[in-house]
């Protein structure tokens, strides 16, 4: 604690001595230095923000470890320096932002710094979903892009996601090189904050129209949408950027009966109607679920603030709505997409997912003779794979368990706008066949196996929390469990060392993916347990996946109960 306090104090004093830092920030720093409890001071200054799986992200406030105009300016200056080393001629970047407090301010700071460095900055005139930023980079032939968002984090957070010319988030070595450039800046006086207004351009509606056109070309069963255009859909943007595109996208595709949750339609960084704007949580979608029940809708959709994740609710045979988890929704979407491919498309195409996402998708792909690739967690790795596969195979779709999905290669990041369109098309196609999404979910399980997943998030905030997470990973690595849920652990995959070890034979095999702080344990009954620190939030994640045979729809509830019991038993042993 004393060491961290000394580091934080030194960093705080550097900020106080800078002529660039504004007076209000200096007053706040002096208050932190005089408080009896130094925790906030330490958390604010003990390190610099770093790029993780989702870029730069932190609590808004004063300090080197917080989101503010100075850390945003430093990140932009570092990125600008790197871009000028990487590209010749006139460099262009696209910039977007969501509804969070200060997002518009940080976006303007970003545009100002880029322009001050002689880089042409294309800025959306108002909030827009993150996937549109990914699309705009390639459409406008930019070398880079930035979106200001903290995705589904609590309201205190904001973030800065940087993209490369392929429309994908930065991956090694670019992310590390940008950080190196940021660290080499030397002081705030070396950040060019004074804008060159002639280099800041407004992005027109042409980009959005081009996005809608590219999406429409990839939607199957358009005849079903036309016949079922009055299917009842419910959508909530949870006060985020989705309201600017999702309703319009569905309207353009022909859906005529969309109910928007008006209480959550107005963009608001304080998220007044929810505790957390995360569609993974039941509470965030409760208002939409209640409205869907009242009007007997077929499908509920809710997107997170920057509209790259979507939560899905469907109803069972009793008419009761329930939420699909990310693995269920992704599996159902991929089952729908893959069965609508031609034989040639199956031979030439491929799908992708992350290593912690359900293996049900791998099973479906294998039985349909479609290549399925696994990557590290984070859509930037899926996008990196897409770049490597260009000219070799045709990308079909991808997804991950954390409610992120992508169909077609016109966007190179998870995309809740297109995902909403595909889930609506899926619901229309099911209804056109006299079925429901619940019918098709059970049919998928009967045909390919009932895989069920659980997720436990253990939150550890601040500097002390970060160390606790490191210690937990070290314990799992040095003394891995011998059994989980009453079944022996037979295989351990350590992505940090790059070694897969068979505990039965003792054989060790090298893993092919890049090294990452992830552990996976497989048990003798086929269960898979993954452990990893989050790259975007102060938490460690435990993913539990179990499976069983489902012989009939009548057995669904019984088998579900058995799988839930197995998941709970494993979770209890982990945490």
Active site (catalytic) residues: 151
d(CA 546, CA 571): 12
CB-side neighbour CA atoms (13 Å) of 528: 16
3-state secondary structure of 127: coil
Please say whether the beta carbons of 445 and 437 come within 8 A: no
Distances (CA, A) of 135 to 145, 210, 333, 415: 10, 9, 22, 10
- Cα dihedral 157, 163, 168, 171 sign: negative
In the DSSP assignment, the letter for residue 325 is: P
DSSP 8-state class, residue 554: G
Contact (Cβ atoms closer than 8 angstroms) between residue 246 and residue 420 = yes
Rounded Cα gap, residues 492 and 528, in angstroms: 10
Tell me how far apart the alpha carbons of residues 148 and 69 are, in angstroms, rounded to a whole number: 12
In degrees rounded to 5, what are phi and psi of residue 351?
-120, 170
Strands 92-97 and 120-123: parallel
**Whole-angstrom distance, CA of residue 169 vs CA of residue 371:** 24
* 374 alpha-carbon distance from chain centroid: 16
- Round to whole Å and give the CA distance between 521 and 504: 13
DSSP 487-513: EEEEEEEETTTTEEEETTT--EEE--S
Q: Are 261 and 197 in contact (CB under 8 A)?
A: no
Q: What CA–CA distance (Å, rounded) separates 225 from 426?
A: 9
Q: What 8-state DSSP symbol labels residue 264?
A: G
For Cα atoms 224, 227, 228, give the angle at the middle one, nearest 5 degrees. 80
Buried b (16+ CB within 10 A) or exposed e, 372-384: bbbbbbbbbbbbb
Integer Cα distance of 210 and 167 in angstroms: 15
């Amino acid at each position: 604690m004393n060491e961290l306090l000394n580091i934080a104090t030194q960093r705080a004093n550097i900020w106080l001595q800078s002529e660039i830092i504004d007076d209000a920030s200096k007053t706040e720093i002096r208050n932190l230095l005089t408080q009896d409890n130094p925790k906030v001071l330490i958390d604010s200054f003990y390190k610099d923000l770093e790029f993780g799986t989702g870029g730069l992200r932190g609590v808004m406030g004063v300090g080197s470890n917080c989101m503010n105009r100075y850390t945003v300016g430093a990140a932009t200056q570092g990125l600008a320096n790197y871009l000028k080393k990487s590209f010749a001629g006139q460099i262009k970047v696209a910039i977007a932002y969501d509804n969070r407090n200060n997002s518009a301010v940080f976006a303007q700071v970003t545009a100002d710094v880029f322009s001050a460095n002689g880089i042409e900055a294309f800025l959306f005139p108002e909030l827009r979903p993150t996937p549109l930023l990914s699309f705009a980079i390639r459409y406008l032939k930019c070398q880079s892009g930035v979106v200001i968002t903290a995705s589904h984090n609590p309201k205190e957070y904001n973030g800065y996601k940087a993209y490369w010319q392929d429309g994908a988030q930065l991956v090694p070595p670019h992310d590390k090189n940008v950080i190196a450039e940021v660290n080499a800046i030397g002081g705030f006086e070396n950040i060019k904050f004074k804008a060159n207004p002639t280099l800041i351009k407004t992005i027109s509606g042409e980009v959005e129209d081009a996005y809608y056109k590219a999406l429409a070309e990839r939607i199957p069963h358009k005849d079903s949408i036309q016949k079922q255009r009055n299917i009842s859909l419910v959508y909530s943007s949870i006060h985020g950027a989705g309201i600017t595109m999702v309703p319009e996208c569905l309207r353009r595709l022909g859906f005529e009966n969309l109910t928007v949750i008006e209480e959550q339609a107005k963009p608001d960084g304080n998220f007044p109607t929810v505790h957390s704007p995360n569609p993974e949580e039941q509470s965030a979608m409760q208002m939409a679920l209640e409205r869907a029940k009242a009007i007997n809708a077929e499908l509920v959709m809710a997107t997170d603030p920057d509209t790259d994740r979507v939560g899905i609710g469907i109803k069972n045979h009793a008419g009761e709505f329930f939420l699909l988890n990310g693995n269920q929704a992704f599996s159902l979407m991929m089952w729908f997409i893959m069965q609508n491919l031609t034989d040639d498309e199956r031979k030439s195409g491929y799908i992708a997912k992350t290593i912690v996402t359900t293996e049900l998708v791998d099973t479906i792909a294998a039985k349909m003779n479609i290549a399925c690739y696994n990557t590290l967690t984070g859509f930037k790795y899926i996008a990196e794979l897409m770049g490597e596969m260009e000219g070799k195979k045709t990308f079909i779709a991808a997804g991950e368990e954390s409610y992120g999905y992508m169909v077609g290669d016109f966007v190179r990041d998870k995309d809740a706008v297109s995902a909403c369109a595909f889930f609506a098309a899926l619901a229309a196609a099911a209804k056109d066949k006299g079925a429901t999404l619940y019918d098709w979910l059970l049919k998928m399980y009967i045909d390919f196996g009932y895989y069920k997943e659980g997720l436990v998030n253990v939150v550890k905030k601040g500097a002390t929390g970060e160390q606790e997470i490191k210690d937990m990973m070290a314990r799992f690595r040095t003394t891995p469990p011998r059994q989980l849920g009453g079944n022996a652990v037979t295989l351990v995959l350590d992505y940090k060392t790059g070694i897969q070890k068979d505990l039965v034979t003792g054989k060790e095999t090298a893993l092919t993916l890049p090294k990452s702080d992830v552990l996976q344990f497989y048990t003798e009954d086929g269960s898979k347990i993954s452990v990893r620190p989050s790259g975007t939030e102060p938490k460690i994640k435990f993913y539990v996946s179990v499976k069983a045979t489902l012989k009939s729809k009548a057995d669904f509830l019984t088998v579900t109960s058995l799988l839930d019991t197995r998941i709970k038993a494993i979770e209890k042993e982990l945490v």
